[in-house]
């Protein structure tokens, strides 16, 4: 037979709704995400470039200030005079003249926090005046003479922590005699690199870093993310083409702006994860909405399918109960006509099957009851034959005392076992029957064993099956004590454990070898065996009760009978 369409209705509804939602989401994402991405990239680029533009403007302001202050200093009358004096008569240029030049220069820049120092050099490059606290030993021969202002990176000593080298941006320009136009020397104004970095350091973070490189890719200012004088290799790889935005090996994206006056590039490097975080958030929200739509579609499909499949599943559940033995009609009538007809026919089948099953069970119970009654009746003639033989033997031997003893106990035994035909007797009566039987067996085996019976008085009035213990004691004598070379012991103990009464019969015989256990359990046909006791208990009390046998650790056999607490009890 060809197998087709094996999915359930619930599965079909779920798949169709999920497919529809997935297609809608894919279409929306395909249309919206490219637009959103381009707009987002444009805005983030503009934002980063605006920050770089601010840094550029601030840096240009510093350069403009350096240029203005250098012009004001070199055109000052005192500076002109002292510089002319050093040039024309250097031997008359005193320390006082140098101090005066330093004082005049300091007046111009002392209120400017971002200027490190201003230094004036003679045409022979001798330092004639400086506002620096300590002069760094460096040569200007590689950059001077020059005819126009020049910017370069110079090392200076810090004005705060003396003898600590710091990197500065210096502007060096020549200056001339105002009256004659002849060269008087050079002026250098320096800005510490940390003051340049202070422009952008507040905007820097672990995911967004700012620094400045020169044309060769050497870092000239940094927020700490790159070392000064180190090479920014991704920049050098660009060679002469430097775009406003470029990506670094999948880890970061860089934005650049060009500082024409210094031939520098200001760079903002942003981690890709941070850069695309807003997009990730949008994608997360979109995914959440998609899952929400799928969840709603699942609920809707389940609701729709339940109206069709719920009665069928209910029928299947009831069938499972029937399989477990609960033959009960459903007695329900769904609104759907077809399913209602199915329920009605199912109930009719259950009723018919239950009637047939009950008839079979009643017949089987009756059969078992008759069989067990016949088995129970076998004990009397079987036991009677042997006892009568013993009575004859005792009479021949003129053992009057033992003869009287065995006859009295035989009378008690049959009086108790007959019990007006009742199947249930009290535990007191059952123990008396067992005691009479044991005393008869003691006479038969010439006191080969002793016995003890221990039972709390409050258990005497509870009921149990008649002749429950006699077959067990008989088994202990025949298979345990009979072959002993020493005196045997049989102990019977009755106790209550919760709602269960336990009978324990223990002997000090050799126990049961594994190969003999099955033979004892299924005693030869025609005798009242251990298995029959077990079946009587289960038939009368239920499958959770019965008989068990095990060898005792110290030797001998322990037989345990479990029955429920029924009837009687303490007053």
Is pLDDT at 525 greater than 60 in this prediction?
no
In angstroms and rounded to an integer, the radius of gyration of the C-alpha atoms of the chain is 57
**283-293 pLDDT per residue, tens:** 788 778 877 87
Contact 170, 196 (CB under 8 A): no
Is pLDDT at 377 greater than 60 in this prediction?
no
Is pLDDT at 237 greater than 90 in this prediction?
no
The C-alpha atoms of residue 174 and residue 187 are separated, in whole angstroms, by 6
Q: What percentage of the chain has pLDDT greater than the value 70?
A: 85
The C-alpha atoms of residue 27 and residue 48 are separated, in whole angstroms, by 32
CATH of 378-564, one of 3.40.50.261, 1.10.274.30, 3.40.50.10490, 3.30.565.10: 3.30.565.10
The C-alpha atoms of residue 530 and residue 560 are separated, in whole angstroms, by 12
Which are the contacts of 234, defined by CB distance < 8 A and separation ≥ 6? Answer: 246, 248, 249, 254
Contact 468, 430 (CB under 8 A): yes
Q: What percentage of the chain has pLDDT greater than the value 90?
A: 39
Using CA atoms of 280, 282, 283, 288 in order, give the dihedral in degrees to the nearest 10.
120
CA within 13 Å, CB half, 227: 3
- pLDDT for position 26: 80
Is pLDDT at 505 greater than 90 in this prediction?
yes
Considering the segment(s) 75-197 as one domain, its CATH architecture is 2-Layer Sandwich (3.30)
For residue 421, name the pLDDT band (cuts at 50, 70, 90).
low
- pLDDT for position 272: 85
**How would DSSP label each residue in 158-171?**
-SSSTT-EEEEEEE
- The full set of domain ranges for the chain reads 75-197, 378-564
**103-155 pLDDT per residue, tens:** 999 999 988 999 999 999 999 999 999 999 888 888 888 888 888 999 999 99
- 108-117, 230-239, 255-264, 493-502: range with lowest mean pLDDT: 230-239
**48-86 pLDDT per residue, tens:** 889 999 999 999 999 999 999 999 999 999 999 999 999
Is pLDDT at 179 greater than 80 in this prediction?
yes
Q: Which of 82, 60, 55, 319 is nearest to 184 (CA)?
A: 82
Residue 347's H or E segment, with its range, is helix 337-377
Regarding predicted confidence, which is higher, 369 or 197?
Answer: 197
**214 beta partners:** 264
Is pLDDT at 527 greater than 60 in this prediction?
no
């Amino acid at each position: 037979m060809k197998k087709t369409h094996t999915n359930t209705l619930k599965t079909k509804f779920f798949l169709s709704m999920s497919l529809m939602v997935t297609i809608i989401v894919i279409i929306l994402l395909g249309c919206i995400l490219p637009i959103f991405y381009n707009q987002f990239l444009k805005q983030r680029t503009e934002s980063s470039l605006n920050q770089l533009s601010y840094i550029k403007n601030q840096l240009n302001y510093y350069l403009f200030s350096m240029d203005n202050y250098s012009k004001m200093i070199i055109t000052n009358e005192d500076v002109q005079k002292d510089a002319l004096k050093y040039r024309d008569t250097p031997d008359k240029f005193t320390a006082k003249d140098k101090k005066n030049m330093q004082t005049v220069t300091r007046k111009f820049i002392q209120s400017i926090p971002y200027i490190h120092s201003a230094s004036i050099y003679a045409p022979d490059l001798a330092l004639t005046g400086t506002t620096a606290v300590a002069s760094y030993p460096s040569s200007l021969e590689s950059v001077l003479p020059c005819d126009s202002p020049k910017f370069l990176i110079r090392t200076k000593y810090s004005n705060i922590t003396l003898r600590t080298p710091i990197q500065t941006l210096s502007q060096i320009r020549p200056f001339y005699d105002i009256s004659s136009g002849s060269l008087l020397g050079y002026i250098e104004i320096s800005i510490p690199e940390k003051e340049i970095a202070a422009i952008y350091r507040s905007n820097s973070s672990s995911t967004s870093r700012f620094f400045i490189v020169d044309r060769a890719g050497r870092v000239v200012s940094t927020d700490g993310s790159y070392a000064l004088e180190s090479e920014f290799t991704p920049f050098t790889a660009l060679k002469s083409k430097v775009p406003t935005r470029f990506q670094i090996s999948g880890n970061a994206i860089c934005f650049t702006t060009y500082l024409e006056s210094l031939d520098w590039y200001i760079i903002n490097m942003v981690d890709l994860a941070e850069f695309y975080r807003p997009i990730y958030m949008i994608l997360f929200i979109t995914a959440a909405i998609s899952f929400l739509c799928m969840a709603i579609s699942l609920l809707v499909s389940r609701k729709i399918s339940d109206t069709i499949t719920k009665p069928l599943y209910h029928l299947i559940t009831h069938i499972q109960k029937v399989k477990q033995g609960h033959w009960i009609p459903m007695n329900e009538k769904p609104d759907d006509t077809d399913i209602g007809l199915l329920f009605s026919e199912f109930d009719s089948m259950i009723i018919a099957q239950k009637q047939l099953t009950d008839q079979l069970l009643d017949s089987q119970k009756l059969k078992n009851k008759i069989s067990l009654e016949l088995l129970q009746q076998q004990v009397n003639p079987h036991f009677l034959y042997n006892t009568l033989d013993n009575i004859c033997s005792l009479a021949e031997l003129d053992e009057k005392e033992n003869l009287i003893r065995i006859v009295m106990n035989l009378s008690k035994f049959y009086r108790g076992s007959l019990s007006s035909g009742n199947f249930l007797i009290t535990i007191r009566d059952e123990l008396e029957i067992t005691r009479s039987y044991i005393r008869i067996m003691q006479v038969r085996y010439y006191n080969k064993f002793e016995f003890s019976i221990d039972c709390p008085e409050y258990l005497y009035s509870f009921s149990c099956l008649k002749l429950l213990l006699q077959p067990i004691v008989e088994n202990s004598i025949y298979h345990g004590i009979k072959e002993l070379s020493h005196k045997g012991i049989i102990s019977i103990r009755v106790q209550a454990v919760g709602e269960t009464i336990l009978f324990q019969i223990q002997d000090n015989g050799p126990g049961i070898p594994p190969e003999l256990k099955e033979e004892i359990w299924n005693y030869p046909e025609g005798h009242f065996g251990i298995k029959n006791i077990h079946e009587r208990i289960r038939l009368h009390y239920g499958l959770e009760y019965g008989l068990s046998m095990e060898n005792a650790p110290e030797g001998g056999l322990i037989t345990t009978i479990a029955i429920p607490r029924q009837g009687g009890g303490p007053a």
